[in-house]
Amino acid sequence: MSRRVRRSFGETTEENFWPAFTDMISTIALIIFFLMLIVFINNVITGKNLEFAKKELADTERNLDASRAEISKSEDRLRLLQDELENTAAEVKKGQIDLKLSEEEIDKQKEIIAQSNRELGNLRAKLEGVAVLRLNVLQKVKESIEENLNAKEKDEELVLIADNGNIVINEGLVFDFNSYAIKEEGKSLLNNLALSFEKVLDNEEVRQNIDAISIQGHTDKRGSAEENRELSSKRATAVVDYLLSVNSNLEYKYGSYFVASGYSEFRPIDKRNNETAYSKNRRIEVSVILKDSNIQNVIDEYLKDSVEIINNN
């Protein structure tokens, strides 16, 4: 009875082994199949991803190339800008140098102008001094005359200095109407005038600037021009002759300074046609003529100094 049990057990074991092995092989095959399927699916997915990645890479490379081209253009523009900046900087530097030179030149010109203005001021002062000198001479003669003669009559000055700087003597004080003979009451005035001229000409500083003392005769417009020219000339000559004859020192020392001239009716003070105008126009004028050479020397000296200033700069 025991043998049958063992045989029965042994038989049962042999019969159950092969189905279990087959099941195991099937399971392994199924696992391998699934693995291969997974690998296949993975390869498919990986392939698609790779193609997408390649496309993305190609797009990226194209974008990169475009960016590189843009960078290259930007670099070219930058180089151009740098060149322009360098040129601009060079021009600015040159402009600064030119500006500095211009400022220096302007400073030089300003100095030249300043010196010229100073010299011109000196010239103006000297010329004004010459004019003042002439006026002073006339004023001294007038004051010398008025010290010894009351030259007032009917509230009108009979001896005055006109706008042109000449000493004006009313004709009625020296001459009768239409006459060139000196009146007695006029001789007192001319006596003082002769002494005054001697005193003025004794001043060397004044004398060296005087070229001539012109005694001028003037008439009114009545009568012919020829008659008035002759009358005015004779009156002027009569005054000069009397001045030099009454003061021998004046004739001896300074006779060469005196000249007589007649202007007839052609230089009226008052152009109206009435007795007041006629009275003003009939007159003797004393004009102190300064030496042109002295004035010219002042101008020449100024021009010489100006040329030296320019040459030195």
Q: What is the pLDDT of residue 272?
A: 93
Q: What is the pLDDT of residue 90?
A: 83
Q: pLDDT band at residue 179, thresholds of 50, 70 and 90?
A: very high
Mean pLDDT of the chain, nearest integer:
78
Q: What is the pLDDT of residue 237?
A: 97
Tell me the domain boundaries of the chain: 136-299
Q: What is the pLDDT of residue 236?
A: 96
Each residue's pLDDT tens digit, 109-137 = 788 888 778 877 777 777 676 667 666 76
pLDDT at 96 over 70: yes
Q: Which of the following CATH numbers is that of domain 136-299: 3.10.129.10, 3.30.1330.60, 3.50.50.60, 3.40.50.11060?
A: 3.30.1330.60
Higher per-residue confidence, 82 vs 283: 283
Each residue's pLDDT tens digit, 11-66 = 445 555 556 667 777 787 778 777 777 777 777 676 666 676 677 777 777 777 77
Each residue's pLDDT tens digit, 203-254 = 887 888 788 999 999 999 999 999 999 999 999 999 999 999 999 999 999 9
Angstrom distance (rounded) from CA 16 to CA 104 = 124
Angstrom distance (rounded) from CA 177 to CA 135 = 31
Q: What is the pLDDT of residue 142?
A: 65
Average pLDDT over residues 97-110: 80
